[in-house]
């Protein structure tokens, strides 16, 4: 078992500069994780992961497979994170590892993101596409998304069920393919149906639930037997309070778990599909936050055992045995959130991911028979808890008296008083910030800045009314919430009013630029990473997608009003220095947003700098792109907030 420790990445030496806070290299924060997607094989004898490599002739990430008993390692796949990016790993069986990847492409002149599924055979040591060429030849189109596994077959470990999306006249019509991994054979077990965008199987591996989406309406159908006539269960509109999202089945094929609203907050229910009234029985709810996790199912015990979410804590187990195991982990790994992410087939071995605001993430291998827990990988090898800054919860009132939750990170050794400050609104915008580890916030704090992250209205997790308050609200009260948070810090004496910069990525980049335009005297500078600058164009550019109507429902459809609430329309009001960064292969927020914003600011002779990342995506998946971004941030903030490097 000691050989497993060889899997640990060595920490590089740290250095400090003459400052109140020890400064670490930019690489310590900005590099993509050293290790991610750690997966335990069903027999509990092998660990697969994605590992970052930085060598002269080999850069990017590799898939690594470790044999726990022998210590032998294999590296079946490498990517530079430009041609393609690995999204996940999953063991189909003890001998086959499935690797899902994405890459930028164009279809009919429209920028898209494609996904593919690759298999690695440990016996032959060969990597190949899950879908054989002969399978694709039978189709009249090349599916855009080929990596959506909807079911593994424990009783038939060489077989998976794969969902394929339609193209051309069949856009929005997903079919289900049964694929034999060993022989490459496949057959359709569920033909595509108009506007069916997703399928769910029961625990007997039959396709049972279909999700229909036509414009903004969703319908949930159930078919008692595969390919049989479907019956309608629920109908609802996007962003409505009567949503009923199916999560999965219990061992009983008639018991379906769903997510729906309970007293204004999302909760977990179960429904007996033989009940004509489809009565929803409450299973799990939080008092004042949404429940957002996925079902945890034990193949060994043949039942649902919990939900992968706990009210700000670890996973919630409803079975006493698993709850006891988690309590034991809490005693061994205190002051951290410890997530049991996976069990071996016999559930005697498992993987734990332990993290907190000051714990960047450690993977542990647990052996219940040996009563042992071994660290196997650090997510960020150069960061340790003693070097990271504490994050505290705060709340403040917006100008209309709405309570806004927020998180303040203060540099180590400094008092929260008159500090240079980074206002850092999150992306999404239907997302949220928490007290978990955030490498952006820790980087800024390490440079001597206080960091303030707020969950403005429209953020996820706070119930229906809070979410609804953010619909069609870009540049309005959502933006006021960010500004009001900044003024709260000034009023509390936490921030130096002359040294505040607003920084954000994606929607956060939009909020940063809008902040600079709407409150030009409040901020000293603004940074937008892959930010939206023209909201009208954002909506218009989604016209060819299947979720166009949903985008309009969320953001709006009055293009004149949306343009007026866009940073590009308010460029003349921006007086502070602006830094723009954007990847030219961004398929979420197109690069035209930053290009046109730069041209507009430049034509107005505003202080602006633009860095375009060649082959860069929306998520800074490439390590060089992250380093370029963070080094530019480091310099720009130091220049404008007068903090020495």
Q: In what order do the strands lie in the sheet with 316-317?
A: 295-298, 303-307, 316-317
SS3 384: coil
Cβ 123 vs Cβ 65: under 8 Å: no
Residue 334 lies in a domain: yes
Q: pLDDT tens digits for 579-589?
A: 999 999 988 99
Total domains in the fold of the chain: 2
44/117 same-domain check: yes
57/119 same-domain check: yes
**What six digits make up the tokens of 32?**
């993509």
State residue 45's pLDDT score: 96
**Cis peptide preceding 142, ω within 30 of 0:** no
d(CA 563, CA 544): 20
SS3 209: strand
SS3 256: strand
355/411 same-domain check: no
Count of CB atoms situated within 10 Å of the CB of 149: 17
Report the candidate in 55, 32, 12, 51 with the shortest Cα–Cα distance to residue 382.
Answer: 12
Residue where a domain stops, chosen among 362, 384, 406: 384
Q: pLDDT tens digits for 585-614?
A: 988 999 999 999 999 999 999 999 999 999
483/347 same-domain check: no
d(CA 501, CA 512): 9
Cβ 47 vs Cβ 365: under 8 Å: yes
Give the up-direction half-sphere exposure of residue 335: CA atoms within 13 A in the CB hemisphere: 6
467/513 same-domain check: yes
3/102 same-domain check: yes
Residue where a domain stops, chosen among 329, 362, 384: 384
**Residue 278 C-alpha from the chain's centroid:** 32
Residue 516 lies in a domain: yes
446/325 same-domain check: no
Q: pTM (2 decimals)?
A: 0.89
Residue where a domain stops, chosen among 337, 353, 384: 384
610/490 same-domain check: yes
**What six digits make up the tokens of 550?**
């949903």
d(CA 382, CA 32): 12
For 339, the enclosing helix (H) or strand (E) is: strand 337-343
Count of CB atoms situated within 10 Å of the CB of 549: 18
Residue 241 lies in a domain: no
Residue 621 lies in a domain: yes
Q: pLDDT tens digits for 303-348?
A: 999 999 865 567 899 999 999 999 999 999 998 999 999 999 999 9
**Burial level of 9, CB count in 10 A (0-12/13-18/19+)?**
middle
Residue 222 lies in a domain: no
Residue 195 lies in a domain: no
Sign of CA dihedral 596, 597, 599, 604: positive
Residue 342 lies in a domain: yes
d(CA 92, CA 23): 44
608/481 same-domain check: yes
CA 3 vs CA 7, 8, 113, 484: distances in Å: 8, 10, 39, 53
Averages of pLDDT over each 10 residues, the chain, 645 residues: 36 36 87 93 95 86 93 92 88 94 79 87 92 74 82 88 67 76 84 85 94 88 81 94 96 96 96 96 93 92 89 79 92 92 94 92 95 93 91 96 97 94 96 92 96 97 95 96 98 96 97 96 96 94 77 91 96 97 92 96 97 93 93 96 64
Question: Residue 612: beta bridge partners?
Answer: 582
d(CA 95, CA 136): 25
Residue labelled with tokens 């107005």:
604
603/624 same-domain check: yes
Q: Which domain holds residue 355?
A: 1-129+319-384
CATH number at residue 595: 3.40.50.1820
Phi, psi angle pair for 610, to nearest 5° = -130, 130
State residue 404's pLDDT score: 97
State residue 460's pLDDT score: 93
**What six digits make up the tokens of 487?**
């003024």
SS (H, E, C) 459-495: CCCCCHHHHHCCCCCCCCHHHHHHHHHHHHHHHCCCE
Cβ 181 vs Cβ 171: under 8 Å: no
**Residue 385 C-alpha from the chain's centroid:** 23
366/380 same-domain check: yes
51/27 same-domain check: yes
Residue 184 lies in a domain: no
Report the candidate in 464, 555, 552 with the shortest Cα–Cα distance to residue 215.
Answer: 552
């Amino acid at each position: 078992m000691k050989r497993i420790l060889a899997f640990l990445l060595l920490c590089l030496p740290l250095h400090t500069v003459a400052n109140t806070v020890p400064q670490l290299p930019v690489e310590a924060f900005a590099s993509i994780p050293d290790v991610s997607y750690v997966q335990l094989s069903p027999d509990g004898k092998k660990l697969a992961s994605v590992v970052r490599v930085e060598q002269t002739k080999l850069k990017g990430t590799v898939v690594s497979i470790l044999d726990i008993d022998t210590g032998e390692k294999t590296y079946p796949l490498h990517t530079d994170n430009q041609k393609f990016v690995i999204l996940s790993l999953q063991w189909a069986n003890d001998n086959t590892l499935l690797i899902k990847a994405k890459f930028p492409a164009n279809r009919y002149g429209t920028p898209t993101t494609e996904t593919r599924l690759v298999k690695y055979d440990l016996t032959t040591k060969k990597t190949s596409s899950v879908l054989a060429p002969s399978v694709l030849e039978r189709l009249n189109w090349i599916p855009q998304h080929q990596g959506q596994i909807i079911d593994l077959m424990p009783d038939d470990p060489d077989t998976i069920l794969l969902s394929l999306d339609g193209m051309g006249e069949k856009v929005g019509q997903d079919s289900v393919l049964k694929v034999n991994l060993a022989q490459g054979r496949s057959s359709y077990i569920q033909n595509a149906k108009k506007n069916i965008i997703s399928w769910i199987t029961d625990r007997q591996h039959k396709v049972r639930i279909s999700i229909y989406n036509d414009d903004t309406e969703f319908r949930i159908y159930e078919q008692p037997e595969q390919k049989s006539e479907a019956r309608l269960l629920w109908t609802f509109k996007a962003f409505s309070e009567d949503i009923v999202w199916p999560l999965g089945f219990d061992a009983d094929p008639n018991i379906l778990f769903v997510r729906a609203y309970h007293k204004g907050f999302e909760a977990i229910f179960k429904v007996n599909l033989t009940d004509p009234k489809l009565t929803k029985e409450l299973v799990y709810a939080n008092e004042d936050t949404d429940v957002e996790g996925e079902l945890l199912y034990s193949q060994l015990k043949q039942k649902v055992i919990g939900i992968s979410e706990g009210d700000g804590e670890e996973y919630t187990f409803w079975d006493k045995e698993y709850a006891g195991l988690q309590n034991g982990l809490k005693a061994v790994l205190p002051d951290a959130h410890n997530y049991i992410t996976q069990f071996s087939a016999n559930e005697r071995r498992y993987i734990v991911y332990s993290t907190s605001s000051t714990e960047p993430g450690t993977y542990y291998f647990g052996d219940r028979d040996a009563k042992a827990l071994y660290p196997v990988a650090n997510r960020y090898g150069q960061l340790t808890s003693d070097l990271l800054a504490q994050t505290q919860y705060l709340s403040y009132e917006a100008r209309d008296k709405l309570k806004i939750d927020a998180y303040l990170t203060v540099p180590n050794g400094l008092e929260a008083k008159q500090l240079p400050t980074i206002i850092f609104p999150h992306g999404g915008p239907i997302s949220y910030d928490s007290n978990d580890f955030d490498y952006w916030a820790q980087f800024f704090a390490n440079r001597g800045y206080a960091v303030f992250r707020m969950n403005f209205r429209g953020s996820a997790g706070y119930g229906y009314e809070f979410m609804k308050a953010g619909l069609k609200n870009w540049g309005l009260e959502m933006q006021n919430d960010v500004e009001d948070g900044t003024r709260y810090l000034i009023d509390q004496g936490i921030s130096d009013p002359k040294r505040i910069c607003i920084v954000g990525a994606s929607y956060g980049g939009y909020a940063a630029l809008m902040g600079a335009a709407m409150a030009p005297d409040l901020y000293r500078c603004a940074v937008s990473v892959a930010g939206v600058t023209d909201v009208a164009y954002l909506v218009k550019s989604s016209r060819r997608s299947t979720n166009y109507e949903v985008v309009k429902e969320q953001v709006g459809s009055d293009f004149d009003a949306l343009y007026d609430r866009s940073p590009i329309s308010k460029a003349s009001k921006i007086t502070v220095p602006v830094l723009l960064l954007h990847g030219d292969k961004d398929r979420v927020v197109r690069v035209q947003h930053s290009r046109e914003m730069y041209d507009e600011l430049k034509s107005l002779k505003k202080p602006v700098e633009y860095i375009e990342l060649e082959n860069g995506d929306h998520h800074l998946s490439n390590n060089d792109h992250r380093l370029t971004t963070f080094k530019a941030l480091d310099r720009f903030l130091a220049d404008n907030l007068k903090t020495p490097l």
